[in-house]
């Protein structure tokens, strides 16, 4: 059972590094923003997985707050890309 846990951890780490590649190499700013958004969602999955692995439930609190903060950051970056002011 520990082996399959290790395989899951490495798969999620590889996905996070693919997102980091897109953030580093993205030719336009929206590409980098897509990478940041997807990286946030993968970190939420990783928090759920760590909660299962250690048996502690407070990792899920980190996941919930990370999901909400990542959403706020994505929407703020999208409004910035659209060149609108923030009080519109």
Summarize as ranges the residues that interact with other proteins (CB under 8 A). Answer: 4, 8, 11-12, 14-16, 18-19, 21-22, 28-31, 33-35, 37-38, 41-42, 44-45, 48-49, 51-52, 55, 57, 60-61, 63-64, 67-68, 70-71, 74-75, 77-83
What's the angle, vertex CA 46, arms to CA 25 and CA 13, rounded to 5? 45
d(CA 56, CA 63): 13
Sign of the dihedral through C-alpha 64, 67, 23, 5? positive
Least distance between other proteins and beta carbon 38 (Å): 5
Nearer to other proteins, 75 or 87 (CB): 75
């Amino acid at each position: 059972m520990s082996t399959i846990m290790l395989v899951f951890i490495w798969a999620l780490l590889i996905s996070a590094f693919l997102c980091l590649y897109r953030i580093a190499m993205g030719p336009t700013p929206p590409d980098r923003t897509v990478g940041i958004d997807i990286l946030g969602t993968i970190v939420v999955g990783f928090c759920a997985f760590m909660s299962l692995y250690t048996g502690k439930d407070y990792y899920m609190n980190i996941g919930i707050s990370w999901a909400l903060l990542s959403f706020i950051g994505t929407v703020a970056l999208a409004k910035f890309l659209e060149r609108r002011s923030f009080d519109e």
